[in-house]
A and B are shown apart, each in its own frame.
Chain A
């Protein structure tokens, strides 16, 4: 039987999935993502079933560092939505735009990632996320796939471990996070040889579930 990841790969039009493609893959592995809509360069702006405020992002598998290039606008109110999209299209002509609900994260942002280590093979990572993730360097790895129990032990490797035991009244669910990490470790294995690198950053605690707010997946060019 083909895995969900293999089916997803089969439906992919090229080897550079955009953010929404990756979030669709995550959904197959029961990982929550914000409600969102991709608008092609010429699509009219018709937003339904989404709660304001919004996030507007440039949506292309070719643009890997969209924040650095001014490709992300947060907290966009409905009356500013059309203008914001127009500005984004002017900045990135001919490129799609992703409109999502702007969700509120409780506690700090995490990162979950994956890569292929030359010596040991495919590995999964979890740690302190957000734009300063490389400054914190508070991450830990395991080989994939890894069990939820092993993922739970990963969390105790971290400096931010107290976040999962009531630090400052936070109630971030460690067991659900461990399940999420285990599911992602399964997903990167299911992708097979084409898998190269994955960043889910940030992953946040939103309305009592772990949600992937941004995701980037790099595949090897030969699918």
Chain B
């Protein structure tokens, strides 16, 4: 077979790069093995989801004749040429044979959705060995088993059979999400998407019989459309290699990792102070810092960090100004900012006399023009925008937290546009705290759609600024090391 033609990169091919993995994210055609008309079955859900993509999707099932208006292909070997991805939706026992069939057919990527492998014991481990044999003998690459597969908004490819905020994420974005846990991945993403989240691609690693986090880290590290990589990991296929590669990728884009599953066994056996102090987990934190990898501890922090890293410019320093129309929020923010318990330290910025004079000219007489700036309930959309512009222009300010409360009568939906206009003009991060009762998520989504990162509470907004400052520190460190 002459492959030269198919290797010629077209314009849209190059969107996904020249790596072999590009075919996984931009296949010519997809097969769903085990596609069925039975409602609620994984094969049905996955096929239904994949029908949205603008490329052929073939259902494969031995007895089914048609499915949702498509002719069903009885056997893998009957598939036409050009299938780059096969999603295997049958159970563990049948999946091994199906994967072998796909391998022999020459399909380059096989996603095995079923659980019931090594996570359930010895029998499952034998099945995984058989999947590894498929990789070794046919050269096909396997994602999984026990994997939710991939979700690529830009290509409308989605194999995730559980609810996951798919519509909210459909706009796409720059975040690549590599996750070892399906549920943490999808639930976290679902919540994050409610307030706006830009996804480049989701990859469920599952049990990693073949493709693992290193493959995807390298791939998204080189992918120009990925501007932040987030990972949920329970165990690393090769810890040292992960650090080395993530450290290289971090020179180009932020890498945020939620490492779960702290092992206490090593610590208990230790006969030294060092061993007992490590408790296995402190080594992770230290090693991550050494390789400029940002660490988070739960799914909310993970998604919050990725949103702000992908969507806001980096601050030049740790000095934060706070603007609010409710004094209490400014005080709370100041408390969080000045907290000494975090390793990445923030400071309340000192506004210059010039800044304070300019503010004095536009705010009500009883407002506070020192940081935290309190516009009071007399705040208006325009006043907030002007204040943001004046404060961000102050050389003593590296980042701004703007508390957008919708209770003041002078505040309307136009606040979003006023804030977005300033954010678009300045290269300092502006992070919004948005609260609007039951409409909070919608409000934050409007901010997001207009290019402004917001969070529903002060603590998360301050934490997001801390994430940016930590990233800026890492960038500074890396610039000093070859």
Interface residues of A (CB under 8 A from B): 64, 111, 113-115, 117-121, 123, 125, 127, 133-134, 137, 139-143, 146, 149-150, 153-154, 156-157, 197-199, 201, 216, 218
User: In the bound complex, do residue A197 and residue B287 qualify as a contact, i.e. CB atoms below 8 Å apart?
Assistant: no
User: In the bound complex, do residue A150 and residue B290 qualify as a contact, i.e. CB atoms below 8 Å apart?
Assistant: yes
Subset of 16 A-B contacts with CB under 8 Å: A113-B273, A115-B274, A118-B280, A119-B283, A120-B243, A123-B278, A123-B283, A134-B273, A134-B277, A140-B285, A141-B278, A141-B282, A142-B286, A143-B243, A153-B289, A197-B272
Min distance, Cβ A139 to any Cβ of chain B, angstroms: 5
> What residue of chain A has the Cβ atom nearest to residue B286's Cβ?
A141
Interfacial chain A residues near B481, Cβ < 8 Å = 149
Interfacial chain B residues near A149, Cβ < 8 Å = 480-481
User: In the bound complex, do residue A218 and residue B271 qualify as a contact, i.e. CB atoms below 8 Å apart?
Assistant: yes
> What residue of chain B has the Cβ atom nearest to residue A117's Cβ?
B283
Q: Answer whether residue B353 sits at the interface, using C-beta atoms and an 8 A cutoff.
A: no
Q: Answer whether residue B339 sits at the interface, using C-beta atoms and an 8 A cutoff.
A: no
Interface residues of B (CB under 8 A from A): 235-236, 239-240, 243, 263, 266, 270-278, 280, 282-287, 289-290, 343, 477, 480-481
The residue from A121, A153, A154 contacting B477, defined by CB atoms under 8 A apart: A153
User: In the bound complex, do residue B274 and residue A114 qualify as a contact, i.e. CB atoms below 8 Å apart?
Assistant: yes
Interfacial chain B residues near A125, Cβ < 8 Å = 274, 277-278, 282, 286
Min distance, Cβ B247 to any Cβ of chain A, angstroms: 11
> What residue of chain A has the Cβ atom nearest to residue B481's Cβ?
A149
Given contact pairs A117-B239, A143-B290, A197-B270, a sample of 12 additional A-B residue pairs in the complex whose CB atoms are under 8 Å apart: A64-B271, A111-B274, A113-B277, A115-B278, A117-B278, A121-B239, A123-B283, A125-B274, A125-B277, A142-B287, A142-B289, A197-B272
User: In the bound complex, do residue A199 and residue B274 qualify as a contact, i.e. CB atoms below 8 Å apart?
Assistant: yes
The residue from B273, B290, B480 contacting A142, defined by CB atoms under 8 A apart: B290
Return the 6 tightest CB-CB contacts between A and B, nearest first: A113-B274, A141-B286, A119-B239, A197-B272, A120-B239, A117-B283
The SS class assigned to the A binding surface is strand
The residue from B271, B284, B343 contacting A120, defined by CB atoms under 8 A apart: B284
User: In the bound complex, do residue B266 and residue A216 qualify as a contact, i.e. CB atoms below 8 Å apart?
Assistant: no
Among A64, A137, A142, A156, which residue has the most Cβ atoms of chain B within 10 A? Answer: A142
User: In the bound complex, do residue B273 and residue A111 qualify as a contact, i.e. CB atoms below 8 Å apart?
Assistant: yes
**Complex: A83 Cα to B276 Cα, angstroms:** 36
Interfacial chain B residues near A199, Cβ < 8 Å = 272-274
The residue from A64, A117, A118, A134 contacting B276, defined by CB atoms under 8 A apart: A134
User: In the bound complex, do residue B272 and residue A127 qualify as a contact, i.e. CB atoms below 8 Å apart?
Assistant: no
User: In the bound complex, do residue A146 and residue B266 qualify as a contact, i.e. CB atoms below 8 Å apart?
Assistant: no
**Complex: A118 Cα to B269 Cα, angstroms:** 12
Min distance, Cβ A159 to any Cβ of chain B, angstroms: 9
**Complex: A175 Cα to B166 Cα, angstroms:** 52
Among A115, A118, A199, which residue has the most Cβ atoms of chain B within 10 A? Answer: A115
Interfacial chain A residues near B343, Cβ < 8 Å = 156-157
> What residue of chain A has the Cβ atom nearest to residue B282's Cβ?
A141
